[in-house]
Structures are given as structure tokens and as C-alpha cells.
Structure 1
Amino acid sequence: MPNKKPDNIVYSEQEGYNSSKLPYATNIGAPVIKVDDVVAWKSRGIHNVNKEFENKFNELKSEYQKLIEEFKWNELVYNARFSFEPVMGEIYHLYLDTDGKEFLSLISPEEWNKEFIGSFKLNSDKKWVLLEKKGLDFY
């Protein structure tokens, strides 16, 4: 068996000594080849990304709910009765009249005994900003 090479030598008839070209370790002193645990990495990544998406979704949902509430309050005030042109920056108070219709007034709730709904200020965008409301979430 003169052509037999020892086990620790990498030799093939076609390639010759090719240990530097092989994708795996060829001797005992070579570093251990360990397969990375990509499943754990992927699951951590998925968990982190899903958590971020959930946080962003909840943030957008909260903003949407605030926008809907602002829209409803503005619709209520704009549909209320008033016989004056509101001035930007002034505080106005919304009341419920005896006939069940809402009306807007400059008179504060402390000055008379009407059913108070809320206080508003008209901003530069012509949007009514809620300052104070009766203890209800939405009238």
C-alpha cells in the first residue's frame, strides 16, 4: 500500500493537496465549525419587529381616536345655534337649551343656570378646541 496516504492528510487524485480550498476543517487543530442558530435570531427579530409594529399601531389608533373626538366636538359646535361671528382666541361656552338644541354663548357657566356642555376656543384654523367639558366623554 505505497499509495495510501495517512488520514490526517487531505489528498485526492484529481485535486491533489487541496485542504486550503475545502469549506470544512481538515485537521485536528482547525477551528470547530459550528452552525449558527438562525432560528433563534429570526424569532427574536420577528418578536422585536412585531412589538414595534404593535406600538406604532397603538399610537396611530390613539391619534385616530383623538381626531374623531375633535371632529365630533367641532361638528357639535358648528351645528349649534349662535347669532354672532366668533372671534379667534375667545372662549365660548356651549349649552343645551330648553328645546333640546345646543347654543353657543360668551356667558360662562358660573354666571347663569343653563345646562353646560363644554367650553371651546376658536383657533386660527377655524377649529374649535375643547377646553373644558361636562363630565361626559362625548356629549
Structure 2
Amino acid sequence: MPFQPVIGHTYFLYLRQTGKYFLSMVNPDEWGRGKKFEYVSQVSLLADHTWDVLDTNWKS
């Protein structure tokens, strides 16, 4: 991971076309048209180093 997540900050989880997930500080509305991945969820790092899922884009 190119950055260290900070407790209490919000991040965005994406899924690449290769099937690999990555975490980003960039929200889905800030990406250009050429993105090659799908927004999965918005998360926040908790003090116990677990993640709180704030929003999800999963389709049932």
C-alpha cells in the first residue's frame, strides 16, 4: 500500500479488472473517465485497526 491509513480517516475500496482490490484516498466522483476499476465501498479505520464500512456499492 503506497500510504499508511490513519485512524478515523475515510478511504475508498475499489476492485480492479484483474480481480485485485485496492484502497484509495480518492472518492469515486474525483476519478476521470478512463478508470479501469469499480467502486466497492467507503470505509473508515477504527482505533482497534478494524474497518467500519460506511457505504457499499455491492449489487445483490
SS of the counterpart of 1:116? strand
AA in 1 matched with 2:2? S
How much has 1:121 moved relative to structure 2?
A: 0.1
Structure 1 unaligned blocks of 5 or more: 1-81
Q: Percent identity?
A: 38
CA shift, 1:125, in A, is: 0.8
Task: Summarize the alignment of residues 12-51 of structure 1 with structure 2, pairs less than 5 Å apart.
Answer: none
Q: Which of the residues 35, 38, 54 maps onto 1:115?
A: 38
Specify which structure has the higher proportion of strand: 2
Q: Could you list the runs of 5+ residues in structure 2 that have no partner in the other structure?
A: none
Q: Please report how far the alpha carbon of residue 117 of structure 1 lies from its aligned counterpart in structure 2 after TM superposition.
A: 0.4
Q: Which has the higher helix share?
A: 1
Is 1:131 the counterpart of 2:54? The answer is yes
Runs of 4+ with deviation above 6 angstroms? none
TM-score, with length taken from structure 1: 0.37
Q: Which has the higher contact order (CA 8 A, sep 6+)?
A: 2
Q: Deviations over 1:36-83 (max 9, x none)?
A: xxxxxxxxxxxxxxxxxxxxxxxxxxxxxxxxxxxxxxxxxxxxxx22
Q: Please identify the structure whose Cα radius of gyration is greater.
A: 1
Change (3 A) 1:97 1:135: closer
Distance 1:98 1:136 in 2: 17
Q: Which residue of 1 aligns with 2:24?
A: 105
Structure 1 residue 107, shift from structure 2 partner: 0.3
TM-score, normalised with respect to structure 2 = 0.81
